[in-house]
Structure 1
Amino acid sequence: MTMTNGDTEQDALAAEVTEFPFAAVTIQATGIHPSTARLVAVDVLTFNEDGEIGEEFHAVLNPGSDPGPHHYHGLTHEEVAEGQRFSQVLRTLNRLIDGRTIVVHNAPRVWGFIVSEARRAMNAAARTNRSRGRGRGRGRRRRQRVGHVPKPAAIVDTLASARRQQIPLEDTRLAGLALALKVEAESPVATVERARQPEHETTRETNDILIDVFFAIRDNGELSTTLPADLRADRFGLQRSHIRVDAMEAPRPHPNPGVHVIGRNLVRGMEVVVAPEVEVDPDVLIEATLKAELVYSEKLTRTTSLVVCNETTDLRGKAMHAARKGIPLLADTAFLDAVSRVQNRAGR
């Protein structure tokens, strides 16, 4: 059987993935939500079990929109304007990510931006191709082929792994986790010196640290690993589990009876928020919430009945706001025990 150029290329790519089965991915964006912000830089390092680097890739991206503040991502408006379109780098990202286990810090955000930008580029190419197809008298034009949404074998989230391993974090940024794991890294607190460094240097330094953190946290305990097929975008463009997004969109079958009173049973219709500081997989907690006919909410509001959180001191984020509003906190195991005794309103 004769080998084609396509077969040879696929064999070469497969060999590269086998030799360097991991890819560390770090991004810079104009904001926190893929639905409203855009990528302005991406850095990828492929590596193997020994920490040896295979390929290095860095690109500054021009989203064609407001690049946002310089201090947020380290790029000037001029640097962003000179950057490439995401459609120009997507096929390279496909080659570097497809089939590999990618390592990221805060997967909903990082993977969310990559998926969002890939789909935006693909949709733009499809519109252009349809427009060319309708044109007459212009001859045949080559169709745009920008690539596809990357297809990693799995996604490892170092931040979620730290949560599941109950690693205390004074700062949830990657450098904060690195310091908690005794991995060499500078403080995540901003400095004048760091602000003066070029973006490509700071982003690459972060990606180097990400690899070190991956090995350290893997040695420390179980990793939080997700399959891309198990994720989809929420209304902010963050890539969440199907269980979580379904729970956000689920109807409310019962009226909310109000704030939970410690010592009493939970009541159907109560609104539950799950903080990041839990050891049990949040999906398990969310499934238990819906099964007990409680309501899951991603956001803490005045209608929240309780917050599932294992942290009781040095509160931050959702737990801190809950404490300020007088909303009780329940540890994950205590919550799972409590949902087995949920009552209806009349039996409260």
Structure 2
Amino acid sequence: MIDLRAQSDRAAMLPSGHRWVVVDVETSGLRPNAHRVLSVAALALREDGSVEREFSSLIDPGGDPGPVHVHNLTRERLAGAPRFEDISSELAEILDGGTVVAHNASFDYGFLDAEFRRAGKTLPVQQRLCTLALSRRLDLDLPNYRLSTLAEHWQIQQLQAHDAYDDARVLTEIFLRSAGMAETLQLPLPVVNCRSSKSVYPPSVTRVPCQWKNPGKLTDAGLVQGMKVVISGSTTTPRLTLAERLAGAGLDVLNQVSRQTSVLVCNDPVVQTAKVRKAMAEGIPVISERHLDDLLARVAPGEPKVATVIDVVPQAQIPVETPQVVTAPAPDDNAPAQGWALQGHKPKLWSGRKVLLLGGTHLEAVMMRSRIAQLGARPALNFTAAVTDALVLGGGESDKRMPRVLQRALPVLTPTTSTPRWRRV
């Protein structure tokens, strides 16, 4: 297998067409309209990834600095620092015309936009890239995508967490390595237009029929197929993409909170939207998108409502051949000559695999992703370094990603049309 991390330790050249500016802010709270920026750092990068220009400053918010235990920015430390309007012109110079790179970029952009408005100016930024979204697109095999976790993964030393300048320095290295891996995988970078960013959060999502019974509210045991999930407010991942991930995992995505809702996903419950208020009144758990992402790695099998594809293809009757590469594989004396049945094995037989689906209708893909999850594997929405197998449905042979599947010599599986089993191509 190709060692993608070794090939993408650092991007040789950043993608052209952008002037990349890595930004980090520390704030007194979570809401741009109510809280203030306490410190800011901006690093403008050359195409080779080196820093062309940098700016950093503490900022006196003129009030309560908020959670000092997080950012360690006390009133005493901020006393005598410039106000935001005092540094806005110099900061605008380094940001002007640049594409902002930040971790959870909508957060940093929202605060900078609010501060520039208070200063009677316009934030001179039209586009941004979120390294959190980029890491998810790369599908890195990590428990979460926090900055500290990514720094450890990419072997980047953090000197002072929650320090705007040090976080920007660390994020620069994470961005360079992530951009290098994205180039290797031929994945586009998630650059969004700031002016129309709200359009990626549609007011509603199309419901996909769920084949599992609702097991009730979310508990410490984690997600179970059939749980009813509602999303409120803005999300780092575009809402339609997030809804597709949830449906693919066997969860029932709804637009309104009811007594049957299992969990509400909201990144800023302090805002108290109508959905948040109703969820709290009904005792429904409210979790962040980050927490949801962690839980999606371990979705327990649910109880089917009625006879479905899952019932027609019972677990104990699905013979699965040992994965083999499509090109000439190395001889394996211990490999069985024929596929081996699942009978007598637990449903975690495919634990550790990440299966990419190619082709098929939307409903077929949803059903097959659910079956994959029951077998212990993880369905993949994108072709990333973590993908271990490819399952080809109708028309999947002509998918533009198929040549890359063959190039990486991944095991290729396809469901037969005459018998309820899977076989390799």
TM tier, smaller: 0.5 to 0.7
For residue 243 of structure 1, report the CA deviation from its aligned partner. Answer: 3.2
Q: How far apart in 2 are the matches of 1:32 and 1:206?
A: 18
CA RMSD in angstroms, aligned pairs only: 4.9
Greater relative CO, 1 or 2 (CA 8 Å, sep 6+): 1
Instruction: Tell whether the 8 Å contact from 1:22 to 1:47 is kept in structure 2 after alignment.
Output: yes
Give the paired residue count: 254
Query: Which amino acid in the other structure matches residue 226 of structure 1?
Result: V
For residue 281 of structure 1, report the CA deviation from its aligned partner. Answer: 5.4
2:195 counterpart of 1:229: yes
For residue 38 of structure 1, report the CA deviation from its aligned partner. Answer: 1.6
Alignment match, 2:363 = 337
Alignment match, 1:92 = 90
Normalized against structure 1, the TM-score is what?
0.57
Alignment match, 1:210 = 171
Cα deviation digits, residues 237-290 of structure 1 (max 9, x gap): xxxx3231x41xx6x999xx999538xxx99xx75449x999x9544455999x
Unaligned 5+ runs, structure 1? 1-17, 123-146, 188-193, 232-240, 308-314, 342-348
The 1:105/1:150 distance shift into structure 2, 3 A limit, reads: same
For residue 165 of structure 1, report the CA deviation from its aligned partner. Answer: 1.4
Alignment match, 1:172 = 145
For residue 28 of structure 1, report the CA deviation from its aligned partner. Answer: 0.7
Q: How does 1:5-24 map to 2 (within 5 A)?
A: 21-24=19-22
Instruction: Tell whether the 8 Å contact from 1:273 to 1:300 is kept in structure 2 after alignment.
Output: no
Query: Which amino acid in the other structure matches residue 227 of structure 1?
Result: N
Instruction: Tell whether the 8 Å contact from 1:178 to 1:209 is kept in structure 2 after alignment.
Output: yes
Alignment match, 2:416 = none
Unaligned 5+ runs, structure 2? 1-15, 215-224, 247-252, 266-288, 303-354, 368-425
Alignment match, 1:243 = 200
Say which SS state the counterpart of residue 214 (structure 1) adopts.
helix
For residue 42 of structure 1, report the CA deviation from its aligned partner. Answer: 0.3
For residue 31 of structure 1, report the CA deviation from its aligned partner. Answer: 2.1
For residue 21 of structure 1, report the CA deviation from its aligned partner. Answer: 2.1
Q: How far apart in 2 are the matches of 1:168 and 1:304?
A: 27
For residue 79 of structure 1, report the CA deviation from its aligned partner. Answer: 2.2
Q: How does 1:99-110 map to 2 (within 5 A)?
A: 99-110=97-108
For residue 183 of structure 1, report the CA deviation from its aligned partner. Answer: 3.4
Say which SS state the counterpart of residue 40 (structure 1) adopts.
strand
Alignment match, 2:312 = none
Alignment match, 2:131 = 158
Q: How far apart in 1 are the matches of 2:238 and 2:143?
A: 21
Alignment match, 2:155 = 183
Cα deviation digits, residues 46-71 of structure 1 (max 9, x gap): 11122222222111112222112322
Q: How far apart in 2 are the matches of 1:32 and 1:109?
A: 8
Q: How far apart in 1 are the matches of 2:259 and 2:110?
A: 25
Alignment match, 1:318 = 292
Q: How far apart in 2 are the matches of 1:332 and 1:28?
A: 38
2:110 counterpart of 1:149: no
Normalized against structure 2, the TM-score is what?
0.48
Cα deviation digits, residues 124-160 of structure 1 (max 9, x gap): xxxxxxxxxxxxxxxxxxxxxxx312224x2111111
